[in-house]
Amino acid sequence: MRTTPRRDPVGRDLSRATLILPEWMEAGMLGAITVGLAFLLRDIWIGEPMHTPAVMGMLLVGGYEAASHTTSAPGAAALYNGIHFALWMLLGLGATRVMREAEDDAARRWMPFAFGIASLVALFALETVIPQTPLTRLHLWAGAIPGLMAMGGFLLWRHPGAFAR
Amino acid in position 82: G
Q: What is the pLDDT of residues 107-149, one digit of tens each?
A: 888 999 999 899 888 888 877 777 666 666 667 788 889 999 9
**pTM for this entry:** 0.79
Residues 14/15/17/20 CA torsion (nearest 10 deg): 110
Mean pLDDT for the chain?
Answer: 82
* Residue pair 153/42 in contact by the 8 Å Cβ criterion: no
